[in-house]
């Protein structure tokens, strides 16, 4: 049986992908209610992470952050790691990933990091970009499962490489949404024609598809039903700052964006879509 721990925004549709491919699946979520609907699709519900480790040989983890992964792994007697393949798919620091690999391998288990790019629509349709760190043999071995999440999982090299690449890519999410918010805010506040601005932008080398994905939410100032909430982007900015500092990359811009995201959290918008950063940068009447 396959195990899946963490059926939140991303984990839930990913667990569904494993079920619809016909794999017997045991799921665990700290808040039980979020995993319960998977029972109707054939999943076995575990009461504890330990139950998943005692019944499954391959275990996927899709948890908030490194401390959450640590808490779950710490609840498992180390002997239970022996012979297991643990695939960590959340966005965490490369150092955290290396620490988990050491703990699990020292206990006779295997560890693969496989963070993903893309959001809940891509998780549901199996179009995530999966970034894999570990050995090439482990990558090959896990490909049939990882292909359910994304058609072309990339092999990045040893543990830590995929975690670093994921943070480098998320750095672009953070700075692009900030840059787009400022430009859109300037056009709107200056009484400009937003559709004309977008037509020009789409024809230019400055365009990123993310702009159109977020435009409607931003124009309506309706950031409910998040794919990726403000609180997780703030978590990622903190990780990106740490990872950048570790290798001597300037973090001044990122620290300002961290402050801006913190303002969004302080305003109570932590569970809204991350494009709510627009509301901090270019204040509107409605939210
Ligand atoms: N959402 C996206 O668009 C997206 C895209 C790419 C990558 N990611 C990354 O994927 C990971 C999951 O994101 P998500 O959006 O699915 O987040 P989410 O909806 O908040 O889910 C987080 C999951 O972690 C569990 N969890 C948190 N702390 C825990 C703990 N101490 N012990 C046990 N379980 C714990 C939560 O359980 P409860 O339900 O009990 O809280 C929930 O199942 C994050 O690292 C995120 O950065 C997200």
For the segment 225-240, the average pLDDT, to the nearest whole number, is 96
Name the residue of 63, 72, 167 whose CB sits within 8 Å of the most ligand 1 atoms, as the mutation to test its pocket: 63
Domains of the chain from N-terminus onward: 2-157 (3.40.50.720), 163-281 (1.10.1040.10)
Q: Rounded CA gap, 220 and 278, in Å?
A: 11
Please, what is the angle between helix 209-220 and helix 161-189, to 10°?
Answer: 50
Name the residue of 64, 70, 72 whose CB sits within 8 Å of the most ligand 1 atoms, as the mutation to test its pocket: 64
HSE, side-chain direction, 13 A CA sphere, residue 184:
29
Query: Which atom number of ligand 1 is nearest to the Cα of residue 49?
Result: 33
The per-residue pLDDT for range 19-67, each reduced to its tens digit, is 999 999 999 999 999 999 999 999 999 999 999 999 999 999 999 999 9
Q: Rounded CA gap, 63 and 66, in Å?
A: 8
pLDDT of residue 285: 52
Of all protein residues, the one whose alpha carbon is nearest to atom 3 of ligand 1 is 119
Q: Rounded CA gap, 62 and 240, in Å?
A: 19
The per-residue pLDDT for range 246-276, each reduced to its tens digit, is 999 999 999 999 999 999 999 999 999 999 9
Pocket of ligand 1, beta carbon within 6 A: 6-11, 29-31, 34, 62-65, 68, 71-72, 90-91, 116, 119-120, 227-228, 232, 236
Residues 34/10, Cβ–Cβ less than 8 Å: no
Give the other-Cβ count within 10 Å of 156's Cβ. 21
The pTM (predicted TM-score) of the whole model is 0.95
φ/ψ of 44, rounded to 5, equals -95, 130
């Amino acid at each position: 049986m396959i195990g899946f721990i963490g059926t939140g925004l991303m984990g839930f549709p990913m667990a569904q992908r494993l079920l619809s491919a016909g794999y017997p699946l045991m799921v665990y979520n700290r808040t039980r209610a979020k995993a319960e609907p998977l029972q109707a699709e054939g999943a076995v519900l575990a009461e504890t992470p330990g139950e998943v480790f005692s019944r499954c040989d391959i275990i996927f983890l899709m948890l908030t952050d490194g401390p959450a992964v640590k808490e779950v792994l710490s609840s498992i007697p180390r002997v239970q790691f022996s012979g297991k393949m643990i695939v960590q798919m959340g966005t965490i620091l490369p150092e955290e990933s290396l620490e988990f690999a050491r703990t699990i391998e020292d206990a006779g288990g295997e560890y693969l990091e496989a963070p993903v790019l893309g959001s809940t629509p891509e998780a549901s349709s199996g179009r995530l970009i999966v970034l894999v760190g570990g050995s090439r043999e482990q990558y090959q071995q896990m490909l049939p499962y990882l292909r359910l999440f994304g058609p072309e999982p990339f092999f990045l090299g040893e543990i830590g490489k995929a975690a670093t690449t994921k943070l480098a890519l998320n750095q672009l999410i953070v700075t692009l949404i900030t840059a787009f918010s400022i430009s859109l805010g300037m056009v709107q506040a200056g009484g400009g024609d937003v559709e004309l601005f977008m037509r020009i932008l789409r024809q230019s080398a400055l365009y990123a598809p993310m702009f159109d994905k977020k435009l409607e939410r931003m124009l309506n100032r309706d950031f409910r039903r998040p794919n990726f909430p403000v609180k997780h982007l703030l978590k990622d900015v903190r990780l990106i700052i740490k990872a950048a500092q570790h290798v001597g990359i300037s973090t001044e811009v990122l620290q300002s964006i961290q402050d801006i995201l913190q303002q969004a959290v302080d305003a109570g918008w932590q569970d809204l879509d991350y494009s709510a950063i627009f509301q901090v940068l270019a204040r509107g009447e409605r939210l």
